[in-house]
Chains A and B, each alone.
Chain A
Amino acid sequence: MPAPTPARSTSEDFFLPELCSGGVLLVVVLIAELTAFVLTIAKHLPGEGVPLWLDLARMSLFLQWIALASSGVLCAVRPHLMRMPLRQAVAASYALLLAVTLVMSEVAYQASASTGIGQQLLPASHSGFVLRNLFICAIVSALVLRYFYVLHQWRSNVRREASSRFEVLQARIRPHFLFNSMNTIAALIRGRPELAERAVEDLSDLFRASLADASTRIPLSEELAVTRQYAAIEELRLGERLKIDWRMDAVPPDAHLPRLTLQPLIENAIYHGIEPRGDGGTVSMSGTLRDGRVDIEIVNPLPPEGVSGRGGRQMALENVRERLELAWPGRAGLEHGRDAGSYRVHLHFPYESMGSGEEP
């Protein structure tokens, strides 16, 4: 179980659901009834004693009592449980379930003994009856609590994934890039409207790519097109300072790769390697295909000495590495490092012309 989280603000963040709500109550009743079936069938020997249906009816009545009473109690104390650390809350819920079973068993025994109803169905030993019930409850409660806990974990994972996708999207569109591009376009509109027009088109394509599902694989030609559109905007902005050397002819254009694999790497190279340099420099991207494996290398000059590195490079690289690993577990990779005045990012992945991830 994870470490207890102190700040549980909304009631959805708690492992125990609202047991008084209809849907959840139905689940509880179902679980109780299934347990009744299992217990009855397990102890019933065909052709002996009371008929099966009678046994089942009695068992169901008893278990539903316990289930509904437990739900009521947990529902009432839920606001208190929510304020406790997770481990304590789980332990308290478990103890309450056992306590309810104890009380209900005792009530059932006494009622039956005093009224005489169902006398012949009761076991002979009072303590044996109560202990057996507690033991069964201990097992079933553990399973039910575990079920609710896992369900809750799964739901919060789904939520977290959705919000992390949003964060990745934000990380992909650097605010500086967005506003600087807008500024460039504003500057071009009067003097060179045709360039401004193209910048708007390039920016739109880039944003469309950023908003698309990043896990889909697209042909290299498409990824290169988006990367070149991105580079075109940067070239307008940085002018002479930015030179890009594209040497990608050796890689087949139908090689598939996850969307936005190359663009963030070029963006990183420009942001960290070219922008901090007064005289600019050249970013190069080269690719090879050998033995069914595509290798791509992106090289940029290092920023001048004494410039404190801009943050954020690692995050983008990690993101691309993870997505490559996700696409081809163990068969793709990304390495990076500096040598002789330049920074190199090297990635490799299998050559697959099919996009959907089947083996070639």
Chain B
Amino acid sequence: MKVMIVDDEMPARERLKSLLASVPGSELAGEAGNGKEALELWDKAPVDVVLLDIRMPVMEGLETARHLAALEHPPAVIFTTAYNEFAVEAFDTHAIAYLLKPVRVEKLAAALAAAGQLNRVQLTRLAAGPPVEARRHIAARVRDKLHVVPVENITCFIADQKYVTVCHTDGELLIDESLKDLEQEFAARFIRVHRNALVALSRVGQLEKDESGHFHVHLRGRNEPVEVSRRLVAEVRDRLKTGH
């Protein structure tokens, strides 16, 4: 069983490594200092189980689990935490394996043995994430490579027939999510300007009207303006004025 260790603290990783060495049938197959590194590492060298710290910089554990669970062949996830977290309690604890630090070797062995039986239901729950938090990254595969884009780099979401295009400062990604769900999740940062478009509030520049009477909004970090539907113009103006 290939295991990846993800923790931002070096001593914590060292300890899990030494414990792992004494659990027969398990094998260390990579370590990462935060969730983003873990996703990128997983993309190159997939593993069966990820031991995931919850509080980490850049991308914390719960969000990482959510991205992992949404992958095509997701690994089993076992959280490690120093203290009972409210965030873990947001999940049904029966659906989630977690170990308290300092981890005992017997508990680690038991959790690894049970990880093989991770089922669909658990993964779906993980993928849905805790009910309150919005993701801080969007992860998607482009030509066999997993891209992880911080939400603050995203300029807009544009819906096509089937997919949503994520436009960010370094390119575009396609994701299989509905614009409606995205609008709800990122209500604090994005605003709907059209039936098929959400734009980042912090990047909105000028709102202008062309000769044929159509409105467009310019976004910092994106060359092409985004069309604003006529019935939403007033609402967009209001939100821009208040700044939120």
Contacts and interface: CB of A to CB of B under 8 A. Distances in A.
A305 interface: yes
Interface in B90-124: 100-102
Interface string B116-156: 00000000000000000000100000000000001110000
A55 interface: no
B57 A278 contact: yes
Contacts of A236: 11
B9 A180 contact: yes
A305 B153 CA distance: 11
B209 interface: no
A306 B36 CA distance: 15
Contacts of A186: 15, 102
A157 interface: no
Contacts of B34: 278
A184 B33 contact: no
Contact of B11 (A176, A188, A305, A307): A188
A183 B10 contact: no
Interface string B31-43: 0011000000000
Given A179-B82, A179-B83, A238-B9, A187 B14 contact: yes
Contact of B12 (A176, A183, A307): A183
Contacts of B9: 180, 183-184, 237-239
Contacts of A237: 9, 11-12
A238 B8 CA distance: 8
Given A184-B11, A184-B12, A305-B152, A176 B55 contact: yes
**Which among B11, B14, B15 has the highest number of chain A CB atoms within 10 Å?**
B11
Given A176-B82, A237-B9, A276 B57 contact: yes
Contacts, number: 64
A182 B102 contact: yes
A179 B82 CA distance: 5
Nearest to A191: B14
A140 B221 CA distance: 80
Interface in A168-211: 175-176, 179-180, 182-184, 186-188, 190-191
B130 to A, nearest CB: 13
B57 A277 contact: yes
B58 interface: yes
What's the dominant secondary structure at chain B's contact region? loop
A278 B15 CA distance: 21
A240 B135 CA distance: 28
B232 to A, nearest CB: 25
A186 B55 CA distance: 19
A239 B10 contact: yes
Interface centre among B15, B100, B152 (most CB of A within 10 A): B15
A275 interface: yes
Contacts of A179: 82-83, 100-102
Nearest to A188: B11
Nearest to A175: B83
A176 B83 CA distance: 6
A262 B18 CA distance: 36
A22 B102 CA distance: 55
A54 to B, nearest CB: 76
Given A179-B101, A183-B102, A187-B15, A278 B58 contact: yes
B82 A187 contact: no
Interface string A234-258: 0011110100000000000000000
Nearest to A196: B11
Nearest to B136: A306
B15 A183 contact: yes
A236 B57 CA distance: 17
A273 B12 CA distance: 21
Interface of A: 175-176, 179-180, 182-184, 186-188, 190-191, 236-239, 241, 275-278, 304-307
Given A187-B15, A304-B57, 17 more contacts: A175-B82, A176-B83, A183-B9, A183-B82, A183-B101, A184-B11, A187-B14, A188-B11, A191-B18, A237-B12, A276-B57, A277-B57, A278-B33, A278-B34, A278-B57, A306-B150, A307-B136
Interface of B: 8-12, 14-15, 18, 33-34, 55, 57-58, 82-83, 100-102, 136, 150-152
Shortest beta-carbon contacts, A-B, top 5 = A187-B15, A179-B82, A187-B11, A186-B102, A278-B58
7 contacts: A183-B102, A184-B9, A188-B11, A276-B57, A278-B8, A278-B33, A307-B136
